[in-house]
């Protein structure tokens, strides 16, 4: 029954997505395929934008994080609301620049702003790398769900490949429009599931109410109710909460796929309305975190102690098969929708900004084929990372935010200081990645600032480098006096 229900949900969503995408318009160019013709109104943009917030990172990752660490999971409540504030100011500006200059990708924005092909290629490659890491999250989750629905006899490799194949099929037909339809289906189902599970789980784990779930967790596991949580050696303190929330908020709209979502809106008011109401989605995190605590007091034991599988195991242990099947099918959509958009974005960037300069006057169909073929390659890399990784979805997600955050000064500063040029931005990106990946640097910051999110540390150093380079440039490169 579990497999049958899950397959029905996926097939209906995919069929509806295909029909919607083909009926509204047939994608014949990369622009139409990648940003939907810049015509998405309030409802479609709402579900598509929310679809990038309501992912397996949010549902499976945060519930598992609450089970494994306790109070630090409340970081999710802070980061979503802060992200909406940043988005209200930033994304209408990105949309306007995209409309006025005909931009399709994030790298297009950098080329339009700074005029440097070197910087554009570096930004494109950095964006693709961050996107592939984020796809890894979705592939990891899909692998768990496939094994739950089909059975443990299917190997992790086969489960991951199956998930990647489903993800690719999702966007090959109609691009962003297909994902927009499925995002609406997925959001409605997930909200109903989260509310349903949240309001019924208490008595299934021996608690009298939702609040009693938290009370019992506090009594049985006192460290779960306070920072740094169940594992003090991980330094998940209030300082970590603040710094990680800030880093997520600043990095959310820097992801390349969020640029393309911004370009897809019909007008700036559509974006602002969504930014005002999107924080409502953060309320669902209360129930998601509560489910993690319920798994804690309900003695849920996921296979291999994997926190990513906690919510799935909780439902398997406490609910009938039809609920498990509904969760499995819906959770597949949680991974398929954002994962397909991530791959679509990576393919578009690769075509336009990495190989584009070598294509010359290639027609739209050729570019579309290259985008789709490159998506297969990026999906393969994500499968490889998923099979070789052992970290939680939250840890993978925070590393993706840290990586993409190195591009943040190059996005924010042009709207604050018009005379910014590309050399300072490039210098900031280089020093930021050095801080993130150089072992000597990461060891230094773990020793001297163990409670700080390393992504925010690198972003601050990046921004300081840019500010210093701008100041030096202003002092050394003085404007020539006008000739008489």
pLDDT digits (tens, 9 = 90+) for 67-95: 999 999 999 888 888 998 999 999 999 99
CA distance 391 to 205: 27
pLDDT for 20 equals: 67
Please tell me which residue, 43 or 409, carries the higher pLDDT value: 409
Domain assignment present for residue 424? The answer is no
Return the CATH number at 285.
1.20.1730.10
Please tell me which residue, 354 or 18, carries the higher pLDDT value: 354
Max mean pLDDT among 34-48, 228-242, 362-376 falls in: 228-242
Number of domains in the chain: 1
* Residue 444 binned pLDDT confidence (cut-offs 50, 70, 90): very high
CA distance 202 to 305: 22
Domain assignment present for residue 432? The answer is no
Domain assignment present for residue 430? The answer is no
Judge contact between 101 and 261, C-beta under 8 A.
Answer: no
Domain assignment present for residue 484? The answer is no
Domain assignment present for residue 435? The answer is no
pLDDT for 362 equals: 58
State the Cα angle at 170 between 125 and 40, rounded to 5°: 80
pLDDT for 481 equals: 47
Considering only CA atoms, which of 443, 340, 456 is closest in space to residue 404? 456
Complete DSSP assignment for 270-292: HHHHHHHHGGGGGGHHHHHHHHH
Judge contact between 259 and 95, C-beta under 8 A.
Answer: no
Which residues does residue 265 pair with via DSSP β-bridges, in sequence order? 40
CA distance 103 to 119: 16
Mean pLDDT of the chain: 85
Tell me the pLDDT tens digit for each residue of 309-340.
Answer: 899 999 999 999 899 888 888 888 888 878 88
Residue 361 pLDDT exceeds 70: no
pLDDT for 478 equals: 56
Domain region containing 140: 2-392
Of the CA atoms within 13 Å of residue 373, those in its CB half-sphere come to 8
CA distance 411 to 409: 5
* Residue 185 binned pLDDT confidence (cut-offs 50, 70, 90): confident
CA distance 479 to 467: 19
Domain assignment present for residue 48? The answer is yes
CA distance 216 to 298: 10
List the single range of 25-34, 93-102, 105-114, 290-299 with lowest mean pLDDT. 25-34
pLDDT for 44 equals: 78
Please give the C-alpha separations between residue 371 and each of 25, 32, 231, in angstroms, as whole numbers: 19, 13, 44
What is the dihedral sign for C-alpha 277, 47, 336, 304?
A: positive
CA distance 305 to 299: 12
Domain assignment present for residue 448? The answer is no
Domain assignment present for residue 460? The answer is no
pLDDT for 21 equals: 61
């Amino acid at each position: 029954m579990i497999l049958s229900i899950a397959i029905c949900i996926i097939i209906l969503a995919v069929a509806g997505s295909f029909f919607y995408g083909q009926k509204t318009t047939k994608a014949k160019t990369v622009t139409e395929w990648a940003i939907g013709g810049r015509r998405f109104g309030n409802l479609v943009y709402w579900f598509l934008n929310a679809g990038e917030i309501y992912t397996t990172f949010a549902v499976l990752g945060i519930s598992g994080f609450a089970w494994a660490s306790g109070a630090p999971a409340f970081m999710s409540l802070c980061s979503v609301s802060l992200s909406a504030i940043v988005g209200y100011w930033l994304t209408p500006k990105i949309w306007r620049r995209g409309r006025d200059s005909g931009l399709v990708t994030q790298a297009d924005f950098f080329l339009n702003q700074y005029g440097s092909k070197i910087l554009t290629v570096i930004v494109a490659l950095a964006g693709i790398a961050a996107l592939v890491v984020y796809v890894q999250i979705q592939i990891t989750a899909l692998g768990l769900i496939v094994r739950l629905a089909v059975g443990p006899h299917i190997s992790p490799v086969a489960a991951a490949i199956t998930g990647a194949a489903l993800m690719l099929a999702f966007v090959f037909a109609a691009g962003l429009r297909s994902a927009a339809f499925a995002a609406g289906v997925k959001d409605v189902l997930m909200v109903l599931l989260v509310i349903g599970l949240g309001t019924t789980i208490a008595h299934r784990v021996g608690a009298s109410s939702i609040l009693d779930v938290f009370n019992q967790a506090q009594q049985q596991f006192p460290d779960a109710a306070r920072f740094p949580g169940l594992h003090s050696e991980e330094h998940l303190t209030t300082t970590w909460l603040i710094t990680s929330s800030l880093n997520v908020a600043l990095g959310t709209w820097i992801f390349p796929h969020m640029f393309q979502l911004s370009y897809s809106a019909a007008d700036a008011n559509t974006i602002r309305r969504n930014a005002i109401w999107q924080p409502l989605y953060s309320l669902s995190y209360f129930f998601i975190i509560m489910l993690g605590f319920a798994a804690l007091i309900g003695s849920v034991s996921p296979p291999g102690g994997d926190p990513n599988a906690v919510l799935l195991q909780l439902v398997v242990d406490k609910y009938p098969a039809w609920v498990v099947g509904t969760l499995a099918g819906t959770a597949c959509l949680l991974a398929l929708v954002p994962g397909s958009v991530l791959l679509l974005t990576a393919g578009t960037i690769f075509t336009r900004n990495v190989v584009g300069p070598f294509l010359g006057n290639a027609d739209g169909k050729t570019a579309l084929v290259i985008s789709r073929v490159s998506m297969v390659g990026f999906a393969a890399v994500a499968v490889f990372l998923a099979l070789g990784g052992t970290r939680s979805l939250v840890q993978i997600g925070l590393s993706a935010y840290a990586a993409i955050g190195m591009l943040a000064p190059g996005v924010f500063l042009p709207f604050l200081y018009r005379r910014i040029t590309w050399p300072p931005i490039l210098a900031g990106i280089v020093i930021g990645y050095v801080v993130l990946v150089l072992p000597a640097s990461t060891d230094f910051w773990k020793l001297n600032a163990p409670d700080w999110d390393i992504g925010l540390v690198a972003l601050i150093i990046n921004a300081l480098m840019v500010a210093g380079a701008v100041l030096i440039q202003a002092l050394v490169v003085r404007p020539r006096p006008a000739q008489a």
